[in-house]
Amino acid sequence: MNRHSVRNLCLAFAATTLAAAGPAAAEDLQSFFKGKQIKLVVGSSAGGGYDTYARTIARHMGNFIPGKPGYVVQNMPGGS
């Protein structure tokens, strides 16, 4: 086998694997995240810029993840 044949074979295998796994993965995500909470750990104290940014993200991000999980922001000053 020459180089191009091996490359094309690998690309075809990868494309087939990804095409087969795509729909199943999307269905599993919704059931996985449903009713769960995601913890955002902020490495600064409450009320700071990073804390405000994390709370803004937490408020809106649940709408974009399948299953609409809840978000909890936890502050750990000096944790970064």
pTM of the model: 0.57
Give me the pLDDT at residue 28, please: 80
Which two tokens mark 65?
Answer: 């993840």
Q: What is the largest CA-CA distance in the chain?
A: 63
Sign, Cα dihedral of 45, 48, 54, 59: positive
Question: pLDDT per residue over 2-59, tens digit each?
Answer: 766 777 777 777 777 766 666 555 668 888 888 899 999 999 889 988 899 999 999 9
- Identify the CA nearest to 69 among candidates 30, 42, 41, 40: 30
Q: Is the pLDDT of residue 74 over 90?
A: yes
Q: Which residue has the higher pLDDT, 75 or 30?
A: 75
Q: Is residue 15 classed exposed, middle or buried when 0-12, 13-18 and 19+ CB atoms within 10 A define those classes?
A: exposed
Mean pLDDT of the chain: 82
